[in-house]
């Protein structure tokens, strides 16, 4: 019976029944099932499912029918006590879980390479962050996970902490191999562990993939279904599996933070993505890994190209010696191949979560990649291309100023090379991946300035309030 239920798609099926009734719209949205839209027909076809909380279509903020059933199936699929659909991305999940455990002035321990939404949540709540720094990995040239020893030391130094926030896997597909120890120790101190698992929504699909932190006992886990599952952009999950964190509080803040007019196409895509995971077989995972390995071997036969594998089988790093990742990204895009991101050293690819029998044009794509690299290596190499990010952050640190103190302080704009030892007044975020390089109230160090200068030289894109085109940043005067 359970297997039959998991085969259902309650939201998808409900919307399709509603569409087939050919109803007359005297309700929002104003496009009237797409009839008034002048968008291309493919958009208008989707608009036929873009409805509102009508009789029989349930209500995301008070689910009693098809949405409730779909969320119960989601919790069953991921082994959670309670799961929710998110139509505001993992961002709204991160906001809700931090609001649920913290209030103004509370201490919260945070992995330093967290996504900007974690820092925004802490700022909005008014909590006091304690940063724990991850390790630098010379093989992938990225920051990875925090060690158990650092988490333990931070918890021992700040036993009043309301939560520990961990990011795993990283954007680059590297998982924390000490997460079980970290969660166990935090629970001994009655401190919940909140995990931004945005890039791990597919982990539960197959035992051949890394394990989700839900299986290790994480209290709240946020996942971006749209990143690796067949869901639309912004479609995400949040799971609560805790006796420490109240799921009703998560629900309360989601009702406050999410739109009162949630998108039904997004909800349908979440329902479908959940179904995709639930029906994913071990043979499907073996098929993906086999196809991936064949493609990696074919790529490694391309001269000059280096392929780096990581924990997540859906992630691959590509490098060409003597050229930055931004240059490689531009070369690939000239052949209409778009990577997930580039950094100073490499590009990141996210592979499709295929099922057995489905295809992807890997051989054809390999030809385009070869052409792109042939064209790239015919151009001059980048002089003095750095091979290290000078990553030397303090293992445990805290901002010198609170957010309130930053907001009330007198500020000034300075050339960034003259800001060593100053206190940052704004968030500066290389994007992607969206991990802040500087956060308000934090001291500017040699390591951070070195990274900033390197990223600027390589042509990285930055979010946040800055004047980096003029080489200026804002600091506390």
H or E stretch including 396? strand 396-397
Phi and psi dihedrals of 206, rounded to 5? Answer: -160, 145
Residue 430 pLDDT: 87
Residue 1 pLDDT: 35
Those residues whose C-beta lies under 8 Å from the C-beta of residue 332, and which sit 6 or more positions away, are: 338, 339, 347, 368, 369, 372
DSSP 211: P
Residue 447 pLDDT: 84
The DSSP string of 92-132 is: HHHHHHHHHH--TT-EEEEETT--HHHHHHHHHHT-EEEEE
Those residues whose C-beta lies under 8 Å from the C-beta of residue 24, and which sit 6 or more positions away, are: none
The DSSP string of 321-376 is: TTS-HHHHHHHHHTTT---SEE-SS-EEEE-----TT----HHHHHHHHHHHHHHH
Retrieve residue 43's tokens. 């958009």
H or E stretch including 142? strand 142-143
**Residues in the chain where the model's pLDDT stays below 50:** 1-3, 387
Q: How far apart are CA 288 and CA 286, in angstroms?
A: 6
- pLDDT for 235-264, tens place per residue? 999 999 999 999 999 999 999 999 999 999
pTM recorded for the entire structure: 0.94
From the list 210, 176, 144, 173, the residue with the least C-alpha distance to 341 is: 173
- pLDDT for 58-70, tens place per residue? 999 999 999 999 9
219 with 197: CB under 8 angstroms?
A: no
Q: How far apart are CA 108 and CA 165, in angstroms?
A: 8
373 with 304: CB under 8 angstroms?
A: yes
DSSP 205: G
- pLDDT for 203-223, tens place per residue? 999 999 999 999 999 999 999
Retrieve residue 320's tokens. 């060409």
Q: How far is CA 5 from the centre of its chain?
A: 30
Cα–Cα separations (whole angstroms), residue 146 to 52, 143, 304: 43, 9, 33
Other beta carbons within 10 angstroms of residue 301's beta carbon come to 10
108 with 130: CB under 8 angstroms?
A: yes
Other beta carbons within 10 angstroms of residue 470's beta carbon come to 10
Retrieve residue 45's tokens. 């076809």
Residue 263 pLDDT: 97
């Amino acid at each position: 019976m359970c297997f039959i239920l998991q085969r259902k798609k309650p939201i998808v099926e409900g919307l399709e029944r509603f569409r087939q009734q050919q109803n007359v719209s005297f309700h929002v949205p104003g496009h009237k099932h797409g009839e008034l839209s002048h968008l291309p027909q493919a958009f208008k076809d989707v608009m036929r499912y873009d409805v509102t909380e009508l009789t029989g279509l349930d209500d995301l903020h008070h689910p009693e029918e098809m949405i409730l059933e779909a969320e119960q199936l989601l919790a069953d699929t991921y082994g959670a006590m309670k799961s929710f659909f998110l139509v505001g991305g993992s961002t709204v999940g991160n906001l809700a879980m931090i609001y649920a455990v913290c209030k103004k002035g509370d201490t919260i321990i945070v992995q330093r390479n967290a996504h900007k939404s974690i820092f925004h949540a802490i700022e909005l709540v008014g909590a006091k962050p304690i940063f724990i720094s991850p390790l630098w990995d010379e093989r992938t040239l990225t920051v990875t996970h925090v060690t158990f020893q650092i988490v333990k030391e931070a918890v021992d130094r700040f036993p009043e902490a309301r939560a520990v926030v961990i990011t795993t896997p990283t954007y680059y597909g590297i998982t924390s191999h000490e997460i079980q120890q970290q969660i166990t120790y935090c629970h001994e101190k009655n401190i919940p562990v909140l995990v931004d698992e945005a890039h791990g929504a597919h982990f539960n699909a197959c035992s051949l993939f890394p394990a989700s932190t839900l299986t290790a006992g994480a209290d709240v886990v946020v996942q971006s279904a749209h990143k690796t599952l067949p869901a639309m952009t912004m479609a995400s999950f949040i799971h609560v599996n805790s006796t420490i964190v109240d799921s009703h509080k998560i629900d309360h803040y989601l009702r406050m933070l999410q739109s009162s007019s949630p998108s039904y196409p997004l909800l349908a895509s979440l329902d479908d993505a959940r179904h995709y995971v639930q029906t994913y077989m071990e043979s499907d995972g073996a098929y993906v890994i086999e196809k991936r390995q064949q493609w990696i071997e074919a790529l490694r036969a391309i001269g000059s190209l280096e392929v780096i594998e990581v924990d997540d089988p859906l992630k691959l790093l590509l490098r060409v010696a003597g050229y930055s990742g931004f240059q490689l990204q531009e070369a690939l895009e000239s052949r209409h191949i778009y990577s997930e991101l580039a950094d100073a050293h490499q590009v990141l690819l996210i592979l499709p979560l295929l099922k057995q029998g489905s295809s992807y044009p890997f051989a054809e794509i390999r030809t385009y990649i070869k052409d792109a690299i042939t064209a790239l290596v015919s151009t001059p190499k980048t002089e003095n291309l750095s091979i290290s990010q000078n990553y030397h952050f303090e293992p445990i640190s805290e901002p010198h100023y609170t957010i309130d103190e930053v907001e009330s302080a007198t500020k000034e704009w300075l050339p960034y090379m003259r800001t060593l030892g100053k206190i940052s007044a704004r968030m500066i975020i290389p994007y992607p991946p969206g991990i802040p390089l500087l956060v308000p109230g934090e001291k500017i160090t040699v390591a951070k300035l070195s990274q900033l200068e390197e990223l600027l030289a390589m042509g990285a894109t930055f979010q946040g309030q800055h004047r980096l085109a003029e080489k200026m940043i804002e600091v506390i005067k």
